[in-house]
Structure 1
Amino acid sequence: MKTAKILAGLIFSGGLFWSCSDDDNNPVMIPSDEPVITAPTSGTGYILTEDNASEQADRFVWNKAGFNVPTQINYSLQADISGNDFQSPAILGETTATQLSVSTEHLNNSALTLGLPSGEASEMEIRVVASVSDNTEKLISETILVSVTPYGSGNTGPSYLWVPGGYQSAGNYGGDWSPAEAPQLRSLPSSDTEFEGYIYFADTSEYKFTAAPEWGNGEYGDGGSGTLLLNDGPNLSAPAGYYLLHVDTEKLTYSLLDTNWGIIGDAIPGTGWDSDLDMTYDVTGKTWTITLDLQPGEFKFRANDSWELDYGDDEGDGILEKEGTNMKIDAGGSYTIVLNLSNPGEYTYTVTAK
């Protein structure tokens, strides 16, 4: 059975904003025209089936966003439950082009991640976010409203743990000991009781795991030697570092892996596949970045100068997978590469020509 699409033909347009700089010799980056999604249209429906998981669900197309100086633009295609205001969107993909193919499997997983029930039609909002760097204003398209009927075993998506602690304000995670503002760990696709995510500790700090974005609904304390106590135990503690956290709420165990990220590959002149070039962590953007000259070739992200933990991009959609396919650089030049591990289970990257 093929993925079903139902077109309603509703048309909308985004607003236009014009601005300029008085100093033509030193142009200022000022956003102007927002991207406008031209396909699909609002009212499109998707009935997803596992038989067509590897096939394209749809190709999303939009107009180029307007910035007043020539520059490469990064686009993020995002989805969220209707009415949720994109507070915690699923990332359908990231690209520098003005179109993106989304597979049935990816759209289905995103729908389940957002909590849409399997076997039922539910509304989902989709938008495009255009940016040129973390320090410039983003241009956001008007949303389109689509209907998605995901498949699955009835699991309505992943579960989460929150990690409130005394590290939050220094790490740009909101107020200290605020579960609602704390970063999250997300359950693994293979298990409802195993969770992972990345968190930055600027200094040695204490923390706990909570089962909800508030106190009093299940908290996990330190049971000693990598074990947890439910609704009991002292605070956990970690030295300064950027950690991959893993928690098993069934076995009541946890682990932390301190990571420092770099890139490696034959797209990097001089070092190639022999050694990494280290990236720098940006607390404000919660991302790892590096700017360097590249040559035609391939590269990957790697932690701690080791192949024990690395990421590639299997589908070329800007979303990373562990031990995934090498990323390609087609033309030599200066690039800024940004690695974003702050959204658990939806790790992304961008490669921007300077």
Structure 2
Amino acid sequence: MKNLKILFIAAISLVSFNSCDEEDDNIFEIQSSESTAAIINLPTSGTGLVLDISNPTGTATTIVWEDATYNIPTVINNTIQLAIAGTNFETPFDVVTTTNNYLAWTNEELNGIAVGLLGLTPFTSADVDMHIKSSIGDNDSEAVYSEMVTVSITPYTTEAPKLGIPGNHQGWDPASAPSLFASAYGETDYEGYVWLDGQHKFIATNDEGDYAWGNTDWGDASGTDGSYTQVLIEDGEGNIAPPNGAGYYFVQANTDADVLEYSETLHNWAVIGSATGSWDNDTDMTYDSATSTWTITMDLTAEEIKFRSNDTWDWNYGDDEGDGTLELSSGTNISVPSAGNYTIVLDFSTPRHYTYSLTLN
């Protein structure tokens, strides 16, 4: 009798094992049919998020949701997906995956997502769809999606706008034109140093940030009579010519409709200071068109220098922080670390970020 009972139990175990084995492939199907999607509580549809450029580390929004449920206890991976509103998530962006049921974004973080990932236009409101993709396991097993929430996002940018200078100095090719930079986004006070050789114009960027003919461009309001008024105009304009012939110019232009003016000042740069032997007489540098820099190799003592133009103190640069970045006129004298022969490079090629280097030979 005992042997018969053992055989009976073994037979039941075998049948049970085979049944489980046959049903393994259906386990996730059963789980899927018994799962429920996450529910987003915050933000709600219609929320407007105007990102604060003055408070980059402040909280822009906090997403809070109720987790999806499955018919077994398990860790749930929650992926926040964003898409341009109205695209039905045809091209979703997986922004972040977390096992939490909340996530806070700072203004800086959400701005990076809005501009860098979604391609939204700074300072312009745009609708964005959001949902939560919930899954378990390593391969997005049993993914379920929350109801969609639509919010409006107004991002910002700290990048200053640019103005190009196509002309004879570079073959009238807008795409390769040197740039002037404004002081901040939304400003129209452009400046920069440019080598000019003959006539030229100013040109704005298009929506893609490129210079191309067909963009808005400006010339001198004098038209084509050969005189120069330093006043800008879009229609019926004449080309501009540098006032002192070919050379290296500090160029300023303001395209605000109430201003519309420009100026071009020729500069020839030199080194001066106690490290050169004199604060009265400077040593001229040479412009290198290949690198768009001014250079000189000379002996210096372990004292101080500055850079000045046109043999006067009207326009000179020093270095307040000792970090290789130049400050105009009020800049602190630059210390030479030790006596020796130096290669000195003065670099004005990036508008509003002017630098120098001292390299001991």
Q: Which moved more, 1:159-168 or 1:307-316?
A: 307-316
Runs of 4+ aligned structure 1 residues displaced above 3 Å come to 48-52, 116-124
Of the three residues 309, 313, 317, the one matched with 2:319 is 313
Counterparts of residues 52-71 of structure 1 (less than 5 Å): none
Residues 50 and 289 of structure 1: CA distance in aligned 2, closer, same or farther (over 3 Å) = farther
1:264 is aligned to 272
Residues 254 and 348 of structure 1: CA distance in aligned 2, closer, same or farther (over 3 Å) = same
Matched AA of 2:177 = A
Structure 2 unaligned runs (5+)?
1-52, 58-106, 117-154, 206-210, 223-228
Indicate whether 1:304 and 2:310 are aligned: yes
Matched AA of 1:242 = Y
Residues 50 and 299 of structure 1: CA distance in aligned 2, closer, same or farther (over 3 Å) = farther
2:178 is aligned to 183
Mapped partners of 2:158, 2:186: distance in 1: 13
Is the Cα contact below 8 Å between 2:270 and 2:283 reproduced in 1? Answer: yes
2:284 is aligned to 278
Q: CA deviation at 1:275?
A: 1.7
Indicate whether 1:326 and 2:324 are aligned: no
Residues 118 and 281 of structure 1: CA distance in aligned 2, closer, same or farther (over 3 Å) = farther
Q: CA deviation at 1:188?
A: 2.3
Is the Cα contact below 8 Å between 2:182 and 2:190 reproduced in 1? Answer: yes
Mapped partners of 2:193, 2:269: distance in 1: 12
Q: Per chain length, whose mean CA-contact separation is higher, i.e. which structure has more relative contact order (CA < 8 Å, sep 6+)? A: 1
Residues 226 and 118 of structure 1: CA distance in aligned 2, closer, same or farther (over 3 Å) = farther
Structure showing the higher helix proportion among its residues? 2
Q: CA deviation at 1:306?
A: 1.6
Q: CA deviation at 1:308?
A: 1.6
Indicate whether 1:292 and 2:287 are aligned: no
Mapped partners of 2:109, 2:326: distance in 1: 25
Counterparts of residues 1-354 of structure 1 (less than 5 Å): 120-121=111-112, 154-168=156-170, 176-189=171-184, 192-201=187-196, 203=197, 205-212=198-205, 213-224=211-222, 225-238=229-242, 239-250=245-256, 251-269=259-277, 271=278, 273-323=279-329, 324-354=331-361
- SS of aligned partner of 2:199: strand
Q: CA deviation at 1:339?
A: 0.4
Q: CA deviation at 1:154?
A: 4.6
Residues 50 and 309 of structure 1: CA distance in aligned 2, closer, same or farther (over 3 Å) = farther
Who wins on radius of gyration, i.e. which is larger? 2
Mapped partners of 2:55, 2:283: distance in 1: 40
Q: CA deviation at 1:51?
A: 11
Encode CA deviations 1:107-131: one digit per residue, 9 max, x unaligned.
xxxxxxxxx968745699xxxxxxx
Q: CA deviation at 1:231?
A: 3.9
Residues 50 and 296 of structure 1: CA distance in aligned 2, closer, same or farther (over 3 Å) = farther
Mapped partners of 1:119, 1:232: distance in 2: 44
In the superposition, the TM-score normalised over structure 1's length comes to 0.53
Is the Cα contact below 8 Å between 1:117 and 1:156 reproduced in 2? Answer: no
Structure 1 unaligned runs (5+)?
1-47, 53-115, 125-152, 169-175
- SS of aligned partner of 2:332: coil
How many percent identity over aligned positions?
Answer: 42
Encode CA deviations 1:239-281: one digit per residue, 9 max, x unaligned.
2111000101111100010000001111112x2x112111011
Encode CA deviations 1:41-98: one digit per residue, 9 max, x unaligned.
xxxxxxx98899xxxxxxxxxxxxxxxxxxxxxxxxxxxxxxxxxxxxxxxxxxxxxx
Is the Cα contact below 8 Å between 2:158 and 2:185 reproduced in 1? Answer: no
Residues 189 and 156 of structure 1: CA distance in aligned 2, closer, same or farther (over 3 Å) = closer
Once superposed, what is the RMSD of the aligned Cα atoms?
2.8
The count of aligned residue pairs is 205
Is the Cα contact below 8 Å between 2:161 and 2:185 reproduced in 1? Answer: no
Q: CA deviation at 1:288?
A: 0.5
- SS of aligned partner of 1:330: coil
Residues 156 and 231 of structure 1: CA distance in aligned 2, closer, same or farther (over 3 Å) = farther
Q: CA deviation at 1:232?
A: 3.5
In the superposition, the TM-score normalised over structure 2's length comes to 0.52
Q: CA deviation at 1:337?
A: 0.2
